[in-house]
Structure 1
Amino acid sequence: MKLYIFACLCSLILWGVSCDEESVGIPTGSLFLGIEEDATLLTKAESAVTNESLRVDIIAAEGDTIKSYSDYIDEVKGKKIVLPVGTYTISVKSNQSEEAGWEKPFYSGSKEITIQSGEITSVQIVCKILNTKVAVEYADNLADYFSRYETTVSNTSGSLLYTRDETRAGFFKAEKLTADLKLVNQDGNEFAMQRVFPDIKERYFYKIKYSLDDGGGDNEEAGADFGGIIVDEKADTIYYGIFIKQEDLFGKSVPKLALDGFAENKIVYKKTENPSVPEHSLTIEAPNGIKQLKVETTSFQFADIPSFDLCNLTDAARTRLQQLGFPIQEVKGKQKLTFVLTDFAKALDPASATQMATHTFTFSVLDNLHQETTVQFIYEIRPNVNVTTEEPVVWAKFVTLRGNSIDRDNIGFMFKKKADTDFQRYDATIYNEQTGDFSLLLIENIMPGTEYEYYAVSGTDAQGDVKTFTTSPIVNLKNNTFDEWFKNGKTWFPNVDVSKWWDSGNTGANTAGENNPTSPEESVVVKGKAAKLQSTWIGFIGIGAFASASMFTGNFVDIDGTNGILSFGQPFTAKPTKLTGYYKYTPVNIDYMEQWDSKVDPDLKSGDSDQCIIYIALCTKNYEIRTNPKSRQLFDPNDASVIAYGELVAKEAVSGEEANGYKKFSIDIKYRKTDVTPSYIVVVAAASRYGDYFTGGKGSTLYIDEFNLEYDYNAASFTNE
C-alpha cells in the first residue's frame, strides 16, 4: 500500500566551490533550497507543502545547528546560503505545533548531504505528514431519535469536538485515539458511548461513522464491537462503522478502577529489612468484560518490560513479571477483580543506597465495547539512610530546597553557588511529621540563570547526596511595550514584522472594509506607542457582527462565516509570578448580545456596563479558539493543562494618575502546579470581556501599555485566595 498519500517533494541543489570572497581561505559551498511539487503525490495531500509555513535547519555532523530559517518562502527560497565544505543534515518541518487541530497536517523531512569543493550536489527531501487525519460522520437516522449528538476525539496531542454539523477533519499524533460519543434523545435523556482505536498509523485517513442499528440482523456484533472496518487501499482510508443498538445505551457503563489504601494515588515508604507499607489494592469493574488490561511503567526495575498486556502475556513476560513480584491473575473476560499490591510494593527498591526512586504504574482497561478507563499510581521508595536530598523546586529568583529525614533534629541544607568554594548552612523551616519531608524557601541572593549546589543534613553528621540545579532565566513578553507595529495591506499588527507574536481580530474585522478595532495609539505612559482596543460593530448595510477589540499572544487563523478561528499561546518555558502594566478603560453600556449564553453570567443583561479583561495563563499546550456557536471552543482557565492563571476585570471606567490618565495594574499569577514547566504563555486583553459571545458595547475602549513579567517571590502566587 502506498503510504506517501500526504506528501510533497522538496529539492535541494548544492553548488560546491573551492572558496569565495565571503570566507577567504576556508573552502565553502553555496546551498540553494527549492521546493518542487509532485502532482501524483499532491492529489491526496491536504494542501501543497509550498503553502505551508516551513522551518529549515542546517545541522552539522557534530549535531550543532549552524543555520536556522523560520520561513522557507521569505528567508530561503531563491537565496544563496554559504556553507563550509562538510557533511550536514537538512531538516524541514512545519512551524506549527503537533497539537491536535483542524486541518493541521504536520510536515517533516530530512536528509544528510555533503558539500564538496568544486562539485555540484543535489538531493531530494520528501516531506511527509507525521500525524493522522480523522473525520466523524453521523447517519441521518440519528436525528430521528436524538436532538443532540457530538463526539470528542482525543489522544495525548489534544482533543477536538465533532458536533453534528462538523465536516472538517482533524489531525492528531499517530497513536491510540479515543472517541467519546454523547447523545441526548428527544426526551432530554443523556447517553454516552466510548470507543478506543489502538492501532493508529501516520498518514492514514480515519473516518468514523455512527448510525443506529436497523435491526436487520446483519450486525450481531454491533453492540459488542465495531459494526465494520473497511480499508480502502487505493485511498489509504480506513472506515470504522459503529452501529448503535438501543439496548446498548442502557447499563453499558465504562470500566471503573478504584484504588484503596493510597494517599492521593501515592505510596511513600523507606526501604528497610521489614518495610512499613500500608495495605493497598486496585479493584477493577468492567460490566462488559475485560478485553485488554495494559500496564505501562516508568520504573528502573521494569526497564526491560516497560509495557505489557495482562490479557496477552508471552511466556517470557510472565516469567519476568513473576521474578519482579508483580501480581498476575487471569483477567481476560473478567467483570470484576482485585489486585492486592502490598507485597509487590515491598519488592520495589530505591535508586541507590542514598537516592530515592519513583516508580509509576498506569493501568488501562479496555472492555469488549471498546470503552477504556485509566488510572495511575506512584511509589516513592526512599533508601534506609538518616537523610536524603530531594529534587528542588526551581524558579528564577527563588528556590525551594527539599530533603527527607526520620530525625527532625538539626535538619537543614548546605548550599552554595557552584562557582563558590564554601557551602553555607541554612535551617529547614517546614517539617512533615508523617513523611519526614522538610524544606526551605530560599529567596535572598538567588540569581536567574545561575548554577547552584546543595545537600540536606540532619542530626550531628548525616548528610544526603549533593544535587546541582540551575535557576530559570528572566524572559519577557516580546514587544511588551507595544511600541512596534506594522501595517500589512489595511490591517494593523502589534509586532515588529510579519513574524507575529501578538495578534488581534483585525484580520477578520477588515473583511468588510478597513476597521482595525485594535490599533497603535500615540497617547502613552512613557514613550513610543500603546495599544488602543475599541469594540465596534463590523458590517455593511445592516449585515455584520459585533467585534470586541482584543490582543492576544498567538495568531488569527481563519474566518468561519462571521466568526473567528484563533490560536492562543506562544512557546514559553519561564515561570513568572506577576504580570504588570498600565491601562485605562472607558466602557459603554452593552447594546449587543448576539450569541449570549446566560449560563456564563445569568445576571448580565442588555444595558449593563460593558467589562474589560486582561488575563495571563501558563499552559502545557496551545489552544484553538472558535466563536461559532455550532462548534464553539473557548479558553477555559480551569483546564487541566493550565498550570498558572491570573486576571484583571474592570466593570467600570478606570483612569489613574500616570501620564495620559493610565493606571498601573499588577496581576498575581497563581500556580496550581509548582513542579511543572509550562510550554506556552497566553496573554489576552479585550475591551469587551464577553466578545467571544458577540456581546458588548460599541465604543468600549481599553488602552494598554508597558506590560512586564516579574519573577520575584510573590506569596499570592501560591495561595488559593
Structure 2
Amino acid sequence: MKIKEYYLYWLLLLFFFTGCQRDEYTATDGEGSLRLSIGIKNDLKVVATRALTSEEQAILEKDCKVRIYQREKEDLKLVRKYQGVENVPADILLASGDYQVKVTAGEVVSASFDKKFYEGIKSFTITKEADVKVDVVANVGNTVATVAFAETMNPYFENCTVGVAVKAENGILDFTADDAGKLGYFSVPVACDTLFCTFEATNKLTGAPFVHIDTIPDVVSATLYNLTYEFKESEVEVPDTGGGMINLVVDVTPIGEVETEETIYRRPSVKAEMGGQNLVLTQPAYMKIGDGEDMTVMIKGSTELTQIEIASEQFPDFLGAPTAQQAFDLKNLTTEEEDLLANGGITIDKKEASLGHAMDIKLSASLIRKYTAENGTRSIRFSVTDQRGYQRIVDWQIVASDIAVQTVAIPDDKKYLIWATKATLFGEVLPEREPQSELSFRYRKVGTTEWQTVPAVRNGSVLTAEVTGLKNSDNELFSEYEYQVMEGAMASNVKCQFTTEKTLQLENCGFEEWSGSAPAYIAPSSNDSDIFWDSGNHGSATLGRDVTTSDTNVKHSGKYSAKLTSQKVVTQFAAGNLFTGRYLQTEMTGLKGDGILGWGRPFTSRPIALTGWIRYNSGKVNYADSHIGNNEQDQGYIFIALGDWQEETYTYKGDTYSWKRIVATKVPKLFDHTTENKGTIAHGEQTWMQSTDEDLNGTKMYPFTIRLDYWDEERIPTTIIVVASASKFGDFFAGSTNSVMWLDDLKLIYDESEITE
C-alpha cells in the first residue's frame, strides 16, 4: 500500500456556535467553569468540497449531540449530555479533573454519496475556580473514498466500474470513469475494518468481462482513501506468456486533526467480588460443596448501556420462577420480574448518577450456595451491550467439589509441550486444600470411552504428567484428546482438551511425480506451486544434461525412485543432488557455472527421525579439493534440518533473490548447521563412506534412519530442509563421476515405536 500525507487543504466553511444559558448544575467546592465553543466543518484535505448550505447548517446545529466525559483512571464516565448547540450552557460547572468533550452530528449510514457523519473530540482539564475555554471542531468522521483510473488502463479496458463496500449487504457504492473526484462516505464497524473493492470491466482485446477484487485492510475513520487503478505490463519473463497486472494505488490522507480516545469506544467491563476478594469471571470458581458468600458484579460502559442480560439454566429452579425463564434483561425488567429476582437473591443497583453507564448486580450467599449444593459445574452468563453496539459476554463457571485438585488447560506459553505423539498435562492443587489420596491424570481421545491413566508429578501446587504414544486415527494428521486430574478415584469436574501436532510428511516423498527434461523437474509440472523438491538440473540443463532423474529399475515401491548421478559437465564436476526448495539462478563466470539455491520449505511439525530407502554406489574421487583427495572413496550424504530462520537475500546482476536459506557455491555461501544454530531447532545427518552393495549393478535398496537432535524443544519450526547428494563435497565441486545414489519412500517419523534401527 502506498501512503502519502498532504497538508494542503481548503477550509470551506467553519461555523462556531455558542450557547447562551447557564449550566443547570449547582456549583460546589473544587469546581471550575467550562466555556465551550462548537464548530462543524466540511473539510477534506487535497479534495475540494462544497460549503454547507444554510439548511444543512440549521439541521446540524439542531441535531448536534454534545457529550462530556470525566476520566476516572482508565474509564471515561459520562457527566453531561446536550442535544442541539442552542441547549449548551454558556458556562458549564465541572468538578476538578480531566475531561473529554465529544461532538457528533449528521447521519450514520453504511455507505452513501451524500450522507455524512461529523465527529470532534477534545481533551481538557478543569481546576478549582478556573474559567476554561475549549474549542472543539466536528469534521467529517467517515471513511471517505474516491476512485480514479490511470491512462494506462485505456488500451485494455472499457466500461470500468468499481464497487466499494464495507459489507455487501450494507450497501455498495459504484464508481465509474465519469465519477472522477466523486466522494463516497462509509461507516466502518470495528468488527469489519476492511474496504472491499470490486473492479469490473470489459477486456478490449477479447471482449470478455473481467473482474478483479482488492481488499484494503485496517481502514480508519476520519480518513480519505484516494484509489487509483493502473495497468502494468508484466516485468517477469515467462515463456509463451504475456500480459500484465492491475495495480491498485492507495493514497491515505487524514481528513483533519481528530483527537480520539480508545477508551470511549471500548467494550463494557464486567468485574466481580465475593467476600471482599476479587473474582476473575473468565476463570472457573472452585468452591467446596455447600460454600457461598455474597457476591457483587460491577458492570460499566464507556457509553450508555442498552442491555444487561443475566442468564442461567438453573434460574427456573433456583429463583422459583413460575415459568421456565432462564434469562432476564436487567435494563428492561417488569415489576414482576424485579420482584422475582429479588426474592430469589438477585438485586440490582442502577447507579442513577452514572446516567446509564453502570450497574451493580448483587447475588446473595444463599443463591450461590444453591449452585454449590451438589458436586458439578454450573454457570451464569452476563451479556452487556452499549449504545454503540459494543458487547461483552462472560460465562462464569462455578465448580463445586470436595476434591482438592483441578484440571488446568495447557498454558499458552507451554504449547510447545504438545507434540504429535506426546504431550504434558497440567493440573493444580486448589488453595487451602490438601489431597488425601494418590494424584494422577486420565486421558483419552475425544469421542472414545476408554481412559488411560498416568501418575501426576507435583511441584508445589502445580501438577503435571507427560503422556506418550498418542495415536492418530486412519487418514488423520492430528487428534483431539481430553484429560482430567484425579485424586484417588475422584475426577476433577473440569475437563481440558488439546490437539496434537500434525504428522506432516514431505510432498512427493516417493518420487513418483516427474516432468520435463533438461531440466527434469521432481514435480508434476514446472509451476512453482507444484515444486517441493528441486535439484541442480537447472545448472547442467544448458548442456542437455540432468544430474537427477527418475529410475524404474532401482526402486523400493511404486514406479520410480530418484537417481542422483555425479558427472562432469563441460569442464567442471556436478554432484547428483536433490533438496527441498528451489534452484534460483546459475551464476556464470566464463564456462564455469555456480548455483544459487534456495533451501527449505514451510513446515510446522516436529518429527523425531527421517527414514527411507537408499542404494549408493561410491566411486573413486577424480575431482579433488581440500575436503577430499584423489582416489579416496566418494561419500554419499543426506541431512535434515528444522528451524525458524529469518529470510536472507542474495544479489546477482542486479537481481535480488530471497529464501529462508541461500546456498551460493561461488562465494561459497553454504549451509552449516553448526554455525546456524540461532535459527536451527533440530538437525540430523548420515554419511555413506562406501557403497551399500558390493554388486554395483544390483537393484537392491536398503533402509536408513536419520534421527533428529533437537537443540531447542521450546520453539516450533517454520521451515524444513532436506538435502541429498551422491557426492558429499559437491558444493566444492569435488567427488567422483562414478558415484550414484538412488532414493525412495522417504518418511518422517513421529513415534519412537515406528523406528527400527
The alignment's TM-score, normalised by the length of structure 2, stands at 0.41
The alignment's TM-score, normalised by the length of structure 1, stands at 0.43
Answer with 1 or 2: which has the greater Rg. 2
